[in-house]
Amino acid sequence: MRRIKLLFLGMGVVMGIQLPHSIAFAQEAPKIQSEFSRPYHPEADAQKDIDSLLKLAKKEKKNVIIQAGGNWCVWCLRFNDYIHKTASIDKLLKSRFLYYHLNYSKENKNEAVFQKYAPEGGKLGYPFFIVLDINGKTLHIQESGSMEKDKSYDEEKVLKFFNTWVAK
């Protein structure tokens, strides 16, 4: 009986520590999300959009970067904001890649598209990135956590990732 009481006491302490943090995050997330643009479109026909990008990729000899995530994902929105506000990254992406935001949300999970290009991608967390060559072949799938720095991203690591996948 004593062990059970200690177990419940321990669980209460852990929950007492976690609850304020969870409440604070739940209150902070909508505020953070409202600061950023919404690049994901649940209503889009993702496969049709990607097919169009691949036609353009062939003409321009560029690889396609797909950022998988959703407008519900704070880190997805942070990454999108970061790449556009960081001049070196924005310039590289605009000159050497075609970029697409692949939505994953309760409104549209895009299951067929994820199955086609990154069947194991959902195990990585969001955002994650899919690199496609000009023929639509998946060259690489990349998680984003290794590029984080504090509550943002590390410019050197992000540039290294993108530079690795510039079309040759």
Domains in the chain: boundaries:
46-165
pTM: 0.81
Question: What is the average pLDDT score of the chain?
Answer: 88
Q: Hey, what CATH class is 46-165 in? A: alpha beta
Q: Give the list of residues 6+ apart from residue 163 with CB closer than 8 angstroms, or none.
A: 92
What's the whole-number mean pLDDT along residues 14-42? Answer: 63
Give yes or no for a contact between 38 and 74, defined as CB atoms under 8 angstroms apart: no
Give yes or no for a contact between 128 and 118, defined as CB atoms under 8 angstroms apart: yes
The per-residue pLDDT for range 45-63, each reduced to its tens digit, is 999 999 999 999 999 999 9
H helical segments located in 35-168: 46-60, 74-85, 87-96, 111-117, 155-164
